Amino acid sequence: MRAKSLKLLTVIAGCLALAALILYTGGFLDFGKIAPGRVAAQPQAAPKGELVKAKRVELPMNYQAVGTLRPVSEIRVEARVPGRILSLKAEPGQIVKENQELVVLDGREYRARLEQARQGLAETRAVVQRTRSEHQRIKRLLEGKAATQRQMEQATEGLDRALAQEAQAKRQVEQASLALGYTRVSAPVAGRVLQRLAEPGDLALPGRPLLLMEAGRGLRLEALVPERLVGRVRPGQELTVELPAQGKQFAAKVEQIVPSADPATRSFLVKANLPHAPELFAGMYGRLLIPVGSRPAVLIPAKAIQMVGQLEMVTIKQEGAWQRVMVTTGRSQGDTVEVLSGLGGGEELLIPAEGHGR
């Protein structure tokens, strides 16, 4: 019996010792022990640098609607007549003027048609000249009562037919000349070539684009917004567009909300115009940031962060002494950075004079 009691007391004592060890190493029995992630505060002369406070603020929460940059005015350059492409005189990115020649088609067939139409016109003019002379002759004979009224009517009808044939031949010449002119495709407006969709040797057909152009340099983001959020967007509203590849944000104005949802995704197409920037190009990936609320956050100057190996540390003033604290940072907000853990806001921070920040 005594042995069992002794064994039980030994087990209880061991459990208590283990619990005390766990509490001690975890920093819960703070007898001068520093909590994890902190360096012991040491009384010392104030280090050189600037003192700032960690700010606790409300940051906006945004839904990121993904989309693509497209020209505000996209133009399809097409041929008006079919023909084999002889040459393309424009490359993607090239700036072109209005009416500048871009594509040349094989015009041999159209030149032959024009020559044939001109020959036909010459023949009809010869017929008109003969019938007009005959009409005048019959008219003189009728005045001398040497011709009948019926002969005069027949001469008039012949002249009218010849004049009608001449007018038709003129139209055929005009059409053939116009078709030959269409074998040289020009820029409809001044702008920039975006894409070549054909090459020399290809067959150009009406309705099939040869080149894509943008008029001017205007771009817009076309993004899909879920139907539950489309009520938060309105035409004329200014929103932020984020371009991850550029690492930049731009202010954009909502131009249009297409009033028809995609039945597959239940999303609406929103078009937001961007300011002119030389680093922006059609086809780039972007995000339209739609405000949906706010959240609390702690912001500090990015220069206050000091890298110790792979760890992010800041120096704070606590109870008159300086102490280094490990933090975890999030997204940057201009010259400041969000602190996800390690600070609660209101702490005094040191920006080192030597500038060992980020």
- Here the tokens at position 174 are 């005009």
Give the tokens for residue 209.
Answer: 């684009």
Q: Which of 228, 223, 265 is nearest to 243 (CA)?
A: 223
Model confidence at 26, in pLDDT bands (50, 70, 90)? very low
Architecture of the domain delimited by 34-58+296-352 = Beta Barrel (2.40)
d(CA 153, CA 139) in angstroms, rounded, equals: 10
| pLDDT number for residue 19 | 56
> Which pTM does this prediction carry?
0.56
Q: Are 272 and 241 in contact (CB under 8 A)?
A: yes
Reported as a single tens digit per residue, the pLDDT across 219-275 is 999 999 999 999 999 999 999 999 998 888 999 999 999 999 999 999 999 999 999
Looking at residues 127-145, what average pLDDT do you find?
91
Question: What percent of the chain stands above pLDDT 90?
Answer: 54
In Å, the largest CA–CA distance within the chain is 166
Give the DSSP H or E segment for 135: helix 108-143
Amino acid at the residue 289: L
Domains 34-58+296-352 and 63-73+213-294 share a fold: no
What value does the mean pLDDT take over residues 205-222?
Answer: 89
pLDDT band at 5 (very low <50, low <70, confident <90, very high): low
Summarised one tens digit per residue, pLDDT across range 53-68 is 889 988 889 999 999 9
Q: Taking the domains of the chain in order of start, what are their residue ranges?
A: 34-58+296-352, 63-73+213-294, 78-207
Predicted confidence at residue 355, as pLDDT, reads 47
Class of domain 63-73+213-294: mainly beta
Contact 223, 241 (CB under 8 A): no
Q: Which residue has the tokens 């008109």?
A: 128
Rounded to the nearest 5 degrees, what angle is found at the Cα of 21, between the Cα atoms of 16 and 25?
155
The per-residue pLDDT for 16 is: 61
Contacts of 136 by beta carbon, 8 Å cutoff, 6+ apart: none
User: What average pLDDT does this structure show over 124-130?
Assistant: 94
Measured CA angle at 208 (ends 204, 213), to 5 deg: 105
326 versus 7: the higher-pLDDT residue is 326
pLDDT of residue 4: 52
More confident residue, 322 or 78: 78
Q: C-alpha distances in angstroms, 236 versus 252, 253, 254, 259, 342?
A: 9, 6, 5, 15, 41
